[in-house]
Amino acid sequence: ALDKAFIEAYKSQAMQHADVRDNLLTQIQQSPEATIATAKGVCNDLEAGISLEEIQEDQSEGHEAKADEVNSKIVNQLAKQYYCPGIQ
């Protein structure tokens, strides 16, 4: 149920980015597991003491398009909300 809530929240966030919305929605529909795994990975890193800034820097090295950047922002925000709410 948590994963489903995460996916729904992801979709509603994606809708706010008209320029990359279709790209993001296709991605989450085709491989929700990958996006969920990324979110859980963000939590693992945060729990290990890595800052969100460092995580974002690492992610940005793999960004090829604006959609990648927006995807990371959404995933990072929702990861904390859904998978590790106890972490600041």
Q: How many residues can be counted in the chain?
A: 88
User: Residue 54 has what pLDDT?
Assistant: 95
Taking alpha carbons only, the member of 60, 66, 74 closest to residue 14 is: 74
Ranges of residues in the chain whose predicted pLDDT is under 70: 88
User: Residue 88 has what pLDDT?
Assistant: 65
Q: What is the pTM of this model?
A: 0.91
Taking alpha carbons only, the member of 85, 72, 82 closest to residue 14 is: 72
Q: Which residues contact 71 (CB under 8 A, 6 or more apart)?
A: 24, 27, 35
